[in-house]
Amino acid sequence: MSKRDLKKYVGELNKEQLEEQIIELYEKFSPVKVFYDFVFNPKEDKLLQESKAKISHEYFPVKKPGAKWRPKAKMRRSVAQKIIKHFILLGVDAFVIADIMLYNIEIAQTYSSGNFIKQELFYKSMLNSFEQAVNFVISNGILNEFKLRIVAIQQETLQQKWKNKYEFEAILDKIDI
């Protein structure tokens, strides 16, 4: 069904029929429920804190009570990417999205400051995340609000002697920070 056909169909329904369909969609499909729950009760601060906790557990997993061993850090960039995509779909404020984008890189740098990481993919994925975050803050006109954190991330790559530290610097050179 095309969007035009959907508009025509919805236009033919009366208010009661529309309400019934929306309630049915809400009950039947989890993404619709998540969307409406957010629209009517947008607890962005709570959502942000929960998301930061998920991301930090990727690098600093918590030992479960009674467990004899501590889980190993998974360092999956995909966890943060899913959260960011979800935030964008929900229409979360750009400041919150930018915060979580930068937090993802900052927590990875915190981890790498105390742990040797030999996987080249880690550094490449952090560079991709950095470039996406910089592009996001520029496109949303909020670069000035996040400039200090962006520069701090780039400086940390130099301090930790990341293999791709000059590529981080090149991104900032393009935007004259």
Q: What is the pLDDT of residue 40?
A: 80
**pLDDT tens digits, one per residue of 4-37:** 988 888 899 899 998 998 889 889 988 888 788 7
Q: Average model confidence (pLDDT) for the chain?
A: 90
Residue 39 has pLDDT above 90, yes or no: no
Q: Give yes or no: residues 15 and 50 share one domain.
A: no
The domain tally of the chain equals 2
97 and 33 within one domain:
no
My answer on whether 98 and 118 are in the same domain is: yes
The residues, any chain, with a CB within 8 Å of residue 91's CB and separated by 6 or more, are none
Residue listed under structure tokens 């880690």: 122
Same domain, 164 and 126: yes
pTM for the whole structure:
0.80
100 and 67 part of one domain: yes
Q: Which of 104, 107, 111, 110 is nearest to 130 (CA)?
A: 104
Would you state the structure tokens that stand for residue 143, as one six-digit string?
Answer: 């670069």
Q: What is the pLDDT of residue 55?
A: 95
Alpha-carbon distance of 90 to 43, in angstroms, equals: 12
Asked whether residue 8 falls in the same domain as residue 83, the answer is no
162-176 pLDDT, tens digit each: 999 999 999 999 887
CA distance 172 to 124: 16
Same domain? For 37 and 110 the reply is no
The residue whose two tokens read 């560079």 is 127
Quick one: tokens of 126? Answer: 């952090």
11 and 58 in a single domain? The answer is no
pLDDT of residue 65: 75
79 and 30 co-located in one domain: no
Top-confidence residue, 65 or 111 = 111
Predicted pLDDT at 134: 97
Report whether pLDDT(41) > 80: no
Statement to judge: residues 56 and 126 lie in one domain: yes
Q: Do residue 15 and residue 55 come from a single domain?
A: no
Q: State the residue range of the domain holding 75.
A: 42-175
Residue with tokens 């960011």: 84
